């Protein structure tokens, strides 16, 4: 975004009476489906590996954010929800310490 565009956006926001936060002029939502916050427990499973417990922090039709309690060396695995034993095949979209973003297939 150019300085001119940023200034124009800021002026438009101010003219509407909004408070401008200099750190966040606009937030772009990249997700293709709405997410819902949740605290569901689940397990990450793959052939020949030990199950890894996790908490599903948010969930959408196309993916989830998992808080993990162990190492997940694989980039594809099954996510099995504890409450109903439903299963989703996942691939890792991003990783952070103790968190994994997955897309469902």
Structural domains in the chain, CATH included, are 1-30 (no CATH), 35-104 (2.40.10.220)
CA distance linking residue 26 with residue 67, whole number of Å:
28
Q: What is the pLDDT of residue 20?
A: 41
Confidence of residue 22 (pLDDT cuts 50, 70, 90): very low
CA distance linking residue 99 with residue 33, whole number of Å:
20
Sign of CA pseudo-dihedral 86, 95, 75, 91: positive
Question: Could you say which DSSP state residue 20 is in?
Answer: P
CA distance linking residue 65 with residue 26, whole number of Å:
23
CB 48 within 8 A of CB 61: no
User: What are the pLDDT digits (tens) for 51-72?
Assistant: 999 999 999 999 999 999 888 9
Cα dihedral value 81, 82, 85, 89, nearest 10: 20
Is this model's pTM higher than 0.75 or not? no
């Amino acid at each position: 975004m150019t300085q001119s565009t940023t200034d124009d956006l800021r002026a438009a926001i101010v003219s509407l009476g909004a408070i401008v936060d200099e750190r966040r002029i606009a937030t772009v939502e990249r997700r293709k489906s709405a997410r819902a916050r949740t605290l569901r427990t689940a397990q990450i499973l793959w052939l020949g590996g030990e199950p890894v417990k996790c908490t599903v922090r948010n969930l959408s039709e196309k993916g989830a954010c998992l808080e993990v309690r162990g190492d997940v060396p694989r980039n594809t695995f099954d996510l099995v929800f504890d409450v109903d034993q439903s299963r989703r095949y996942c691939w890792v979209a991003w990783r952070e310490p103790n968190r994994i973003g997955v897309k469902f297939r």
